[in-house]
Every structure is written in structure tokens, then in C-alpha cells.
Amino acid sequence: MFSFLTELKYLFKRFVLIANVLPALLGFIIAAKYYDISFIDYLLPFGLLLVGSGMLVAGALTLNNWLEADVDKLMERTKQRPTVTGSLSLKTILGLGIALSIIGQAILFFINLEVAIYGFIGWYTYVVVYTVWTKRKVTWNTHVGSLSGAVTPLMGWAVVDSAMHPIPLSLFAVMFLWQMPHTYAIAIRKYDDYARAGLKMLPVVRGYDVTVRRTNIYLGLLLLTPLFVSGFSLIFYILLTVVNISWLVIGLSGFKWLPIKKWANLLFVSSLAYLLTVFLLFVLFV
């Protein structure tokens, strides 16, 4: 039993799973505070969101493993996945991915249609558009993957009310822009793996200099995100701007100020701190 759970840990990419489910839950919490609703009244929908989003994301990640079994064998970072070790058959992994995806999508549908639509958009863009169509062919595959992750706070907000609202849309923008530097940092850190596998990641195809420049474009665009949301206190905008500028300074240090791998490590760690801080600011000041 313990061995099977260990296999699931690698199959579901546990940290990626958490990183996709947590924004959905935080999106709900922010909406609940904004509309001043009782959490007890929404306990069931919140539970369905937790389970449904978790299963849908796990299903997408499992299918990603199944679709990339050939390239995973070429990369050091993925050598412990069941698709590489053979501890689970590819047929079993495919069946598990399909089952989790269907059940997760159905659970989200029981919350409401809008939540289910966002869930499907995230699943489809990640499994089909990102994994199947673009990851092996074009460098802008990262944009597609970013779209998949960016819909998660919309799911959480839509549990309470329509996500066609400036606050969840600003969170969507933050997550979309955030994922570009975050993913570029990973691609630089794991450059040899991606090059060996032939995946079209920007550093592999266009080099480090282009990647650093692109990274700073997205970090610069994050400075504009406070302009798209209103109704917060002045201290919120000040703190959010300080956080955005701080991350931009780290990004600018990639222009020959730091060795590229050290810069990528710093960018990666700071990206996690950045996203948690931004969501915390929204939770505290909404």
C-alpha cells in the first residue's frame, strides 16, 4: 500500500498538484471575504471544489505522464515516475488518468456550470494543447501551460459568484504572467534534461540571453496588474507594487550580474514566495 502511494506521489507530481489546487481554494476564500458570506453555508461546495479540482488536476497530470512516457525516460528529473520505472503499466496509468479526469470534472459540475467550464478549460489546455500539440513543437508552449494554471482562481471565485469580475480576472492575469518567469527558471535549471529530450523550451531553442529578456518583460507587465483592480486600500497597492518591483529587481540581476544557473535558482525560489505573498495580500485586504 505504501509503495502504491509512493508511485501516486510521482505520478501526480505532488507539488504541481498542490500548486494548481491551492489557487482555486484561495480564489474561493477571497470571494467569500469579498461577498461577506458564511463559510459554513458554503462548506459543501468548498469540499466539492477541493475534491473535484484535486481529482481533475491529478487526472491531467497522470495523462501528461502517460503521453510523455518516451521523453521522461531521457530526463534525470523524471526517472522515478512509474512510466519510467515500469512499476505501473501504461494501461493502468491511462485508465487512472481518464477516470480521475471524468470524476473530477463531474464533481465540479455539481457545484455549477461556470466552475466546471473553467475546470475543463484548464484540463484541455494542459493535456491536449500543451502536452500533445505544442510542448514538442514550439517555444510558446509555456504560454499554453500558463493559461491552464491561470484559470484556477477563477474556479474558486465562481463557486460564490461569476468570475467575470475585476478581482478574479486580475488574479488570472497575475498567475498567467507569473508562470512565464517561473517556468523559464525551471527550464534553465533543467536545461540538460530538456535538451536531451528534445522539448522546445525557450532556453534550449533560443538561448539564455533571450530567456532573460523575455523573463523581464513578463516581470515588468506584472507591475501593471494593480491598475486592473479597484476598491482596495492604499496600503494594498503600495505593498503589491513593492512586491512586484522586488521580483523585477531579481529578474534584472540576470543581465550578467549573476551566473545564469544561480540566477535561475534565485528566480525559481522567489517565484514561489512572490505568488504566496500576492495571494496573501488579496486575502488580507479584500
For the stretch 96-141, pLDDT in tens is 999 999 999 999 999 999 999 999 999 999 999 999 999 999 999 9
Does a structural domain hold residue 97? yes
pLDDT of residue 54: 96
pLDDT of residue 15: 84
Is there a single domain that holds both residue 190 and residue 281? yes
Is there a single domain that holds both residue 174 and residue 103? no
Q: Which residues of the chain have pLDDT under 50?
A: none
Spatial neighbors of 180 by CB under 8 A, at least 6 apart, are 142, 143, 146, 214, 215, 218
Tally the C-alpha atoms within 13 A of residue 35's C-alpha that lie toward its C-beta.
20
CB atoms near residue 40 (< 10 Å) = 8
Distance CA 171, CA 198 (A): 33
pLDDT of residue 219: 98
Is there a single domain that holds both residue 115 and residue 169? no
Number of domains in the chain: 2
Distance CA 140, CA 130 (A): 9
Is there a single domain that holds both residue 117 and residue 247? no
CATH number, domain of 122, equals 1.10.357
Is there a single domain that holds both residue 82 and residue 118? yes
Residue pair 148/125 in contact by the 8 Å Cβ criterion: yes
Does a structural domain hold residue 284? yes
Domain of residue 18: give its range: 1-138
pLDDT of residue 175: 96
Is there a single domain that holds both residue 54 and residue 109? yes
Is there a single domain that holds both residue 237 and residue 132? no
Is there a single domain that holds both residue 177 and residue 237? yes
Is there a single domain that holds both residue 242 and residue 120? no
pTM of the model: 0.94
